[in-house]
Amino acid sequence: MSSENNNSKKNNSGSNGSPQRFQPKVLLVYLVIVAAILTIWFANPGAGSNVKQLTISELVEAIKAGQIAEDGGVMEPEPSYGRDGYVISGEMTNPSLSEVVDDLASASEIPAQIRFSARGRLTEDDFLLVREVLTEKRATTGFQDVLISFLPFLLIVGLLYFLFVRQLKSAGKGAMSFGKSKAKMLTREKDSTTFKDVAGCDEAKEEVSEVVDFLKDPKKFQRIGGKIPKGVLMVGPPGTGKTLLAKAVAGEAEVPFFSISGSDFVEMFVGVGAARVRDMFEQGRKNAPCIVFIDEIDAVGRQRGSGVGGGNDEREQTLNSLLVEMDGFDGHEGVIIIAATNRPDVLDNALLRPGRFDRQVTIDLPDLNGRHEILLVHAKKIALAEEVNLEHVARNTPGFSGADLANLLNEGALIAARFNKKAVEMNDIDEARDKISFGRERRKLMDDEDRKIIAFHEAGHALIKGVLDDGHMPVHKVTIIPRGQSLGSTMFMPKKDTLNHSKRRLIDDICCTLGGRAAEEIVLGDITSGASGDIQMASRTARHMVCDWGMSDLGMVALGQSQSGGYLGHGAVTAKNYSEETAQKIDVIIRDMIQDQYNRALKIINDKRNALDVIAQSLLEHETIDGKHVLEIIEHGEMRSPIVKREIPVEELEEDEEEGEVPKKPTKEDNDNSGLAGEEAPAPA
């Protein structure tokens, strides 16, 4: 234990530790320089502009007149004036006071004592007179004179040495430290993350638990000839807890944890990345058993020779060094390499082979139970009201990652704090979910015409969804209050995680997406540019159905295969692997599919015109209605449940007023960019 502590102290105090903000040596040097300057300044008796210069005879007269008190100065031998030469300095009564003795106002402005200085030879009588009043100092030696003469020169040389030579030495040390690893070591005392702090990824915890068992008891595996994987690669979307799980492994095993980012290996100097890789592994061997965690390894482990014009020689050199070091690792050393990335498709194949990263642990988005467990972990630090049902919150947040759920509870706490609540209520969490998913409410000032257009547009979406939905994704909320980039929103909330998309539901989604445009045409007799986003969603869904999912008369053929590995890894490149005749057929099928669903939307709205008008009037009156109100209007022709309105804080209203001081009518450009509907299109499978 003592050796481990010593090693940790060395690592913490080395190049990876925090820089010293206070250096006593530097302060001491500055104090010495200031003291020397002050000594030289005050050592000169004639220094200063308020010193009165006297001759020897004037000095003697002043002593005789009693203007110089006893011990009122010093006399010091001066060899430059001969054997009897002296330099005399001190304080005397100001002779100017005798001239203004009658004028009290002027006398108060003149100092009573002034400094004087006199130089010259003293006769024997004058010497005896002066010595009775002033203090005599012994003569300085030749060494002292030389030292005093050369002291300013020595101070200048010392200052130059301190400013330039020392800085050059420190710069040299900094240049040599470029090859040192920037890995930060976290010990048990600093980081106490365990598996209890990680939720929503039980399968991943089971896979990495073998690493913990090996670090605790390596002989258990070595006894039967088993070898622990040298490297574990964690793959998953951002925010799913890859870094947190790696810290939990180190916390459970109670071993040092070295953390470094893939970008820390990249520097402007050639060979620095490879040197840092070697130094990182050397630190790991000294602190074995330990865990070395490399976050965002795709920054350094990208496939060699990729991109335009060949690869990056410096990055490839760093990758080669990483591959060699992992090959040289003995499995019995107790050093485990854990890496994380959300781009496993761009990693080099040599990095993924057995013997380097033997195991890949996939950490996907949490399911319903996983989201519930994550919410329970984060809810420990937040004051929740008794009415808050975290299971209901987990059911209404499909597709949320662990980071999104933590942000959800935090936003709910911030909203509750704005209303001066003592605990977070359910409506606060609902508002936080809507804010994260669709954007913050913007109280943009609109005239009656714009409000009417938006109300009927959103009523068209809600009506068709309420008629066609089979309970899988009902209407959650309809609002004409601008959120994010949209002027109005129709929000859907799936009852469960969507793993597959059926053809019938996709067709219904296209019809619902075109419901806003259909309502505008029927009610207003005209169409607006507000449906631009709806048209894009419908076209994208229809193209996926025809080209990717085989849901058309063209058959089960993949038309337009995606090829990964685009320029610098920017998504995928779609190759056109079909003829022009097929391309024309695809365009015709997509256009007919969208037109059929648009005609279907027109028929539904015409049949349910009364319900459309009631929904629109309710939106104009209340601005926001829930999904249950839409179903009540469709079934009974009116709303039967009360509407709970959320009060808006005064400061929030003031911010909105500042953002829109004058009524602004949406322009064609604004509508083309944002659209009126806020629902999401079905995600491609």
Q: Which residues are catalytic?
A: 458
CB of 185 closer than 8 Å to CB of 256: yes
In angstroms, how far is CA 19 from the centroid of its own chain? 22
Q: How many CB atoms lie within 10 A of CB 26?
A: 11
Cite the beta strand spans of 95-137 per DSSP E: 113-121, 135-136
In the sheet that holds 135-136, the strands lie side by side as 51-54, 113-121, 85-93, 73-77, 135-136
> What are the φ/ψ torsions at residue 391 (nearest 5 degrees)?
-65, -40
> 345 near 302, Cβ under 8 Å?
no
Type of residue at 620? L
DSSP state of 90: E
Report which secondary-structure segment, H or E, holds 611: helix 609-622
d(CA 542, CA 548): 10
Q: Give the separation between CA 454 and CA 447, rounded to whole angstroms.
A: 11
Do the bridges between strand 85-93 and strand 113-121 make them parallel or antiparallel, or are there none, so unpaired?
antiparallel
| Preceding omega of 152 cis (within 30 degrees of 0) | no
Q: What element of type H or E holds 498?
A: none
Contacts of 142 (CB under 8 A, 6+ apart): none
Tell me 291's DSSP state: E
Contacts 24+ apart (CB under 8 A), 388-394: 388/424, 388/425, 388/426, 388/429, 389/426, 392/426, 393/429, 393/433, 394/368, 394/369
Strands 51-54 and 113-121: parallel
Beta-bridge partner residues of 441: 483
Q: Could you count the other beta carbons within 10 Å of the beta carbon of residue 40? A: 14
Q: Where are the beta strands (DSSP E) in 94-202?
A: 113-121, 135-136, 184-186
Which helix (DSSP H) or strand (DSSP E) does residue 234 occupy? Answer: strand 231-235
Strand partners, 234: 340, 361
Instruction: Tell me 137's DSSP state.
Output: P
> Which tokens hold the place of 613?
């008008």
d(C-alpha 639, C-alpha 623), whole Å: 14
Tokens of 13: 């105090």
